[in-house]
Structure 1
Amino acid sequence: MRKSAVLFAAVIAAAGLTGAPASATASADVPGLAITQVGYNAYGSDTVWNRNQEFVDVRNTGADAVNVAGLVVADQWAKSHVDDNDRNCNTLKVTSLAGIVTGTDGSVMLPVGHTVRVYSGRGVPAVSAGGSVHALYMNSLCGYHGHIWGNGGDTAWITKGSDSESFAYDFDNGYTVKP
C-alpha cells in the first residue's frame, strides 16, 4: 500500500497536477514580468458601464525595473488576428504610465513590485495603491459591449518584442482568476 501511495504521488507531481488549479495555465517568457490576475467576469450583465470590472494585471516580479514601453496586452482573439485587426480590437500597447516619467529614449521603467492594470473600458490613466498600481484603459469598442475577456475561458497575452507570455483560464465560478 505504502509503495502505491508514493508512486501515485510521484506520478501526480511529474504530471504537474500539484501547482495551479486545473482551471488555469500560465507560460512565463517575458523577463521580469508576469500576468498575476485576470478579471474576466464583470458583476451582473455585461454592459458598456461595467466593462472596467474586466482587467489584466501585469506585475514586475524581477529584481530590477523593467522597460514596459511597447508592451502589448491582448486576448486570444487579438493574438490570433494580428494580420487582420485593423481596429486594434482587444489590444493595448503601453506607451506611458501615470506616475512614471518617460525616459528621453521613450523608456517607461516599471519599478520592482509595481503592477500595470489594463482595464477593458474607458478611463484616465492613473496610479493607486500607494503609487504601485498603474491603471491603463483599452477603451475597447469591440467584443460584447466592450467586454473582451471570455467568461467561459480565454487566454491573456503579454508581448514585448519577440518575448510572449500567456495565461489561459476556464470559467471557475468567480470573477477573477490568478495563476
Structure 2
Amino acid sequence: MRITKSAIVLSAAALAAGLVGAVPASATADVPGLQITQVGYNAYGPDTIYNRNQEFVDVKADGAAGRAVNVTGLTVADQWGKSHEGADDNPHGCNTYKVTSLPGITPIDGNVLLPAGHTIRVYSGAGTPSVSAGGTVHAVYMDSRCGYHGHIWGNGGDTAWITLGSNSESFAYDFDNGYTVKP
C-alpha cells in the first residue's frame, strides 16, 4: 500500500496530539459494531467470469460487549457503487450487495443479528450462500454482472464501503503486489 505525504503528516499530527487509534489513515470506522477486515481484490490469473469469487470483502462484528449486530440492510459496495447509490445510471445496483438474510442465522422479528466475532464474506461472483465449518463465516454472493467479467474491485486501488442506516465506513487501498489487503 502506498503511503502519501499527507497520510504521514496526519499520522504524525495524531501521534503528537495523542489521538492514535486502531484505524489506519486510509480507513474510516463509523459503523458501530462492524469493521471491514479484509478485501480480496485481485483474482489469480486473468479476470474471467470463473474466478470472480476470488474477489470478496470481509465484514466482521467486532464483538463490543459481546453483542450481536443487526445487519439488516447492510450495504457493501466499491467506490463506484457507493458514488452511484440510488442514481439513475445504476438501475441494477451494480457493485453493491445488500444484506436481507444470512446463511445459518434465523432472523428475529425481521432482524438479521450477526453474532459477535462472526464475519460476513461478500463474494463478487455467484454461488450458494453457506456457513463455514466453524459457523463463524457467513458467505454470500453479489452475483455481479457489472465490471469486467463481474470483477468490481480495482486491482490498482479502490475503496470498499459498508453502509448501515446513516452510518458508513470505508477502507481505501492501492495495489500492493498481492491478492488481498487488510486495514
Alignment partner, residue 3 of structure 1: none
1:88 aligns with 2:93: yes
Equivalences for 1:3-42 in 2 at 5 Å?
13-14=12-13, 25-42=26-43
Alignment partner, residue 120 of structure 1: 124
Q: The residue matched to 1:45 in structure 2 has which SS? A: coil
Equivalences for 1:28-177 in 2 at 5 Å?
28-61=29-62, 62-63=64-65, 64-82=67-85, 83-84=87-88, 85-103=90-108, 105-177=109-181
Aligned partner of 1:92: which letter? Y
1:101-145 CA-to-partner distances (Å, cap 9, x unmatched) read: 011x21000000000000000001100040000000000000000
Q: TM-score, normalized by length of structure 2?
A: 0.85
1:127-169 CA-to-partner distances (Å, cap 9, x unmatched) read: 0040000000000000000000000000000000000000000
Aligned partner of 1:80: which letter? S
Post-superposition, which runs of at least 4 consecutive aligned residues in structure 1 deviate over 6 A? Answer: none
Q: The residue matched to 2:26 in structure 1 has which SS? A: strand
Q: Which moved more, 1:83-92 or 1:112-121?
A: 83-92
Aligned partner of 1:116: which letter? I
Alignment partner, residue 6 of structure 1: none
Q: Which has the larger radius of gyration?
A: 1
Q: Partners of 1:159 and 1:145 in 2: how far apart?
A: 25
Q: The residue matched to 1:14 in structure 2 has which SS? A: helix
1:28-81 CA-to-partner distances (Å, cap 9, x unmatched) read: 000000000000000000000000000000000032100011000000001111
CA RMSD, Structure 1 to Structure 2 (Å)? 2.2
Aligned partner of 1:157: which letter? W
Aligned partner of 2:127: which letter? G
Q: TM-score, normalized by length of structure 1?
A: 0.87
- Identity, in percent, stands at 74
Q: Partners of 1:11 and 1:54 in 2: how far apart?
A: 30
| Structure 2: unaligned runs, 5 residues or longer | 1-8
* Alignment length (residue pairs): 167
Q: 1:12 to 1:117 in 2, by over 3 A?
A: closer
Aligned partner of 2:78: which letter? D
